[in-house]
Structure formats: C-alpha cells, structure tokens
C-alpha cells in the first residue's frame, strides 16, 4: 500500500496570507495526485487533480505542484471560506489518502 | 446538474448486516467507475470499494469478504451490502464517482453507519 504523509498536521494562517501544504508518497505515484477540501459536516470537494490541474469551478488562488513523491498545495491568499481540512490522495495504485492538514485561523 | 445521494445508514449491532444505497443524477452510473469511501468519526478518508463501468469490482483488505458492491442500472443506483459488521466499520459512508486512474470528482453527502450494541 502506498502511504501518503501530509505536513503539517495543523497550519495556522491569517486571512490574506499564503498557505503551503505538503504531501509525500512512500513510492512514486507519477502525477496521479489529487487534493480535496473538507469542511465540518460536508463531503470532500475535489480541488486539484493530476497534481496541478484545478477542478471545475475552483478559484485560481488554489494551485498544485509536484511529481513522483513530493507534492504541494498552495493557497495564495487565504479567504475565510478556505479554513478547512485538506487531504491529498494518490490514484496511481488503488487509492490512498493522507491523514489531512487542518488550516485554521491564526 | 450532477448529484449523488446516499441513503440507508443507521444503528446496527455487531455481526449484523446493512445495505446503503447511492442514487446518481446528471450522469449514468453504469458508464462511470463508482467508489465507496468511508470516514470514521474524527478520522481521515479510507477507500472501501470500487465498481468499474466494465463490471469488475474490488475491495479494501479491511472489508474483503464482508462487503459487496453492486449496481442497478435501471435505477442508476450503486449499493454497498455490509455483512458481519464490526465496531470499526462505524463511519460516514460516501459514494463518489471515480476510479481506475481517476480522482473522485463528485461525492454524495454521506450516510452514517454506527455499529454498536
């Protein structure tokens, strides 16, 4: 099983600041990585797929990068609605998720 | 508009059985890969099972032999039959479109399954 490890577990950021979330795969997953946002009581929402492609309707402030084993989700200027938990996922070999990064208000 | 709606969750005793359903609108279940993903209370996401549009099915090791995924094309509905339920199966079960080298692009709101005596 491919293990996805996210860091940090919690990120405290002020509105308007940049947030950078990391995800590491235990083996190469090429570019088959997605990022999801989940708010309390809601289902996950697809933000980024193929490591860097924004899903339909996702604002340009969300961007993804990386390949092989190292991936990053960047939120360029945090808005109030962006405070949530973010999960990375690999779909190169079955499907596994990271444990999540909670982005909270500083 | 694409929509996915899960139903059928509830409280069930250990060792019992339950079937959850997922009705899709805005797309055809039989033409897409469809998956079940679960989330235990306060925990992360875990893939459970996939039904490829070609008919193949696969399961996570944690549920293999106990859970069965199926679909009814006439009802555009996906099912997850859960047998021999354990306390550790307690979770919100989400239905999502995706699989086979694709992410999960549409998710339902989830249905809560609680296994407890």
Each residue's pLDDT tens digit, A44-88:
999 999 999 999 999 999 999 999 999 999 999 999 999 999 999
Q: Which of B47, B105, B110 sits opposite A96 (nearest CB)?
A: B47
Cross-chain Cβ contact B110/A96 below 8 Å: no
Cross-chain Cβ contact B45/A87 below 8 Å: yes
- Residue B50: list chain A partners with CB under 8 A: 95
Q: Is the dihedral of CA A6, A8, A12, A16 positive or negative?
A: negative
Q: Which residue of A has its CA nearest to B38?
A: A43
Q: State the best of B4, B36, B45, B107 to mutate against chain A, taking most chain A CBs within 10 Å.
A: B45
How confident is the model over B36-65, as pLDDT tens digits?
Answer: 999 999 999 999 999 998 999 999 999 999
Q: What are residue B88's phi and psi, to 5 degrees?
A: -75, -5
**Mean pLDDT throughout B24-39?**
96
Residue B58 CA to residue B49 CA, distance in Å, equals 6
């Amino acid at each position: 099983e491919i293990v996805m490890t996210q860091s940090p577990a919690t990120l405290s950021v002020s509105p308007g600041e940049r947030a950078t979330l990391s995800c590491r795969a235990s083996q190469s997953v090429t570019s088959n990585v997605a990022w999801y946002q989940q708010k309390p009581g809601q289902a996950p929402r697809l933000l980024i797929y193929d490591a860097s492609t924004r899903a339909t309707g996702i604002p340009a402030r969300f961007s993804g990068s990386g390949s092989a084993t190292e991936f990053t989700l960047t939120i360029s200027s945090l808005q109030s609605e962006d405070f949530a938990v973010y999960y990375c996922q690999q779909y190169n070999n079955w499907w596994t998720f990271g444990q999540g990064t909670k982005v909270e208000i500083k | 508009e694409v929509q996915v709606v899960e139903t059928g969750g509830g409280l069930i005793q250990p060792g019992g059985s339950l079937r959850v359903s997922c009705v899709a609108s805005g797309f055809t279940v039989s033409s897409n890969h469809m998956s079940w993903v679960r989330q235990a209370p306060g925990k992360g996401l875990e893939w459970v099972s996939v039904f490829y549009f070609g008919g193949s099915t696969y399961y996570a090791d944690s549920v293999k032999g106990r859970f069965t995924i199926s679909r009814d094309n006439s009802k555009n509905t996906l099912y997850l039959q859960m047998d021999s339920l354990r306390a550790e199966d307690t979770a919100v079960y989400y239905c999502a479109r995706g699989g086979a080298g694709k992410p999960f692009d549409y998710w339902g709101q989830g249905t809560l399954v609680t296994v407890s005596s």
